[in-house]
Amino acid sequence: MLAKERQDEIFSIIKQKKAIKMSDVVKKYQVSHETARRDLEVLQEQGLIKRVYGGAVLSEQVPSMAGMAEPPCIVDASSSVEREAIGREAAKLVKEGDTVLLSVGSTVLQIAKHIRDIKHITVLTNSIFVLNELIDSDVRMFVLGGCVNSSEYDMEGHLTVEALKHFCVDIAFICAGGITKENGVSDYNCEVAQVNKAILSRARKTVLVAHAKKFGTDSFSVTCPLDSIHTIISDSTLSQGYVRCLQEKGIELILADVGQV
């Protein structure tokens, strides 16, 4: 059966039953989980379905759950190219056998999409989006518990911070709501800022991923000073003022070429 024929049949089933499980696609068509995932991704790109944990649902069924496909910040397409470029570049830092912590944020989700095929890695996360992205891959996953934030689709709060104390990872990736020379890294969500602050103590290397528009703006809750971060990955439009600032602080800076996406 051609991929297009299989995808058409899958969509017919979803139209009839309003949903389908990934395991049912694998069993019915005798395909790998990777093939099933790609079929659902194609249908989602066509706007016909929404991928959710363990499968997919008919897109008309979830108008109030548009965020399940992508976080609210990803809906802002003005920086989608930058996020994709940064996520691709950040994924290059992950090596076979690494333990990786992926925090919340749209750019971190892009990293998850690019590390699916790296062998023998373990991912720790408090993001439901990251979990949903990697659940059908061969990545070994651990999920941090805590209070579920239904608007951010993550786990947060003191239980999440406590859970972090049980782990140490090779590399951690965090996002930011804003970054300034004076106040460092900040986030609009206090709980996210607190969890990210705790993450700093659990990783051998901490990487901040943020597109250039985040620099020069303070968000509500301070996460950490700039010199608490080992590496920052931004895009090639970052101002020379901030490039010099980060270099003077001895922070490794990687600029993703947005023209390569």
Q: Domain containing 29 — which CATH number? A: 1.10.10.10
Do 58 and 81 share a domain, yes or no?
Answer: no
Domain stop point among 15, 39, 63: 63
In angstroms, what CA-CA distances link 151 with 70, 86, 129, 145? Answer: 11, 24, 12, 16
Number of domains present in the structure of the chain: 2
184 phi/psi in degrees, rounded to 5: 75, -140
Pick the last residue of a domain from 43, 63, 83: 63
Positive or negative torsion for Cα 95, 100, 105, 110: positive
Q: CA nearest 223: which of 61, 104, 112? A: 104
**Whole-angstrom Cα distance, residue 170 to residue 98?**
6
The model's pLDDT over 25-56, given as tens digits with 9 standing for 90+, comes to 998 988 888 889 888 988 887 778 888 878 89
Most confidently predicted of 53-57, 65-69, 238-242: 238-242
> Taking each helix axis from N to C terminus, what angle separates 80-91 and 106-114, rounded to the nearest 10 degrees?
50
On average, the pLDDT of the chain sits at 88
Instruction: Render pLDDT for 95-144 as a digit per residue (tens, 0 to 9).
Output: 999 999 999 998 999 999 999 999 999 999 999 999 999 998 999 999 99
168: CATH: 3.40.50.1360
End residue of a domain, out of 63, 84, 103: 63
Question: Are residues 38 and 110 both part of a single domain?
Answer: no
Residues 43 and 168 grouped into a single domain: no
CA angle 164, 171, 83 (to 5 degrees): 105
Of 217, 218, 210, which Cα lies nearest the Cα of 238? 210
Identify the domain containing residue 101 by its residue range.
72-260
CB-based contacts of 225: which residues, under 8 Å, 6+ apart? Answer: 183, 184, 185
Q: pLDDT tens digits, residue range 147-181? A: 998 767 899 999 999 999 999 999 999 999 999 99
Instruction: Mark whether 245 and 135 lie in a shared domain.
Output: yes
C-alpha distances (whole Å) from 254 to each of 68, 122, 216 are: 30, 24, 18
